[in-house]
Amino acid sequence: MGVGIGGLAILIIAALATSALSAVIGMGGGILMLAVLFSFLEHGEAIPAHAAIQICSNGSRVLVYLRNVHWGTIRRFAFGALPGSAAGCLFLWKLGELGAEKDPYLKMAVGIYVLAATFLPKPKKQVTSFKWWDFPLLGFVAGTASLTVGAIGPLIAPLFARRDYVKEKLIATKAVCQLSLHVLKIPAFLLLGTFEWKELSLLTLCLMVVVVPGTFLGKRVQRHVSAGLFVTLYRIALTVAGVKVLSHDGLYKLLQS
Q: 160-200: per-residue pLDDT in tens?
A: 766 666 778 888 899 999 999 988 888 887 777 766 666 66
> Which pLDDT score, from 0 to 100, does residue 54 have?
92
> Which pLDDT score, from 0 to 100, does residue 124 have?
58
Q: Say which residues have a Cβ less than 8 Å from residue 46's Cβ, sequence separation at least 6.
A: 34, 37, 38, 40, 150
Position 58, amino acid: N
> Which pLDDT score, from 0 to 100, does residue 46 have?
84
> Which pLDDT score, from 0 to 100, does residue 176 have?
94
> Which pLDDT score, from 0 to 100, does residue 222 have?
77
> Which pLDDT score, from 0 to 100, does residue 5 have?
84
In sign, the C-alpha dihedral spanning 213, 146, 110, 37 is positive
Domain count for the chain, please give it: 1
d(CA 190, CA 167): 35
Cβ(147)–Cβ(185) under 8 Å?
Answer: yes
> Which pLDDT score, from 0 to 100, does residue 195 have?
62
> Which pLDDT score, from 0 to 100, does residue 4 have?
79
Q: Say which residues have a Cβ less than 8 Å from residue 135's Cβ, sequence separation at least 6.
A: 73, 76, 77, 79, 80, 159
CA 251 to chain centre: 22
Give the DSSP per-residue string, 190-248: HHHT-S-HHHHHHHHHHHHHHHHHHHHHHHHHHTTS-HHHHHHHHHHHHHHHHHHIIII
Q: Which domain holds residue 210?
A: 4-256
> Which pLDDT score, from 0 to 100, does residue 25 have?
79
Cβ(241)–Cβ(31) under 8 Å?
Answer: yes
Cβ(200)–Cβ(63) under 8 Å?
Answer: no
Question: For the chain, which ranges sit under pLDDT 50?
Answer: 98
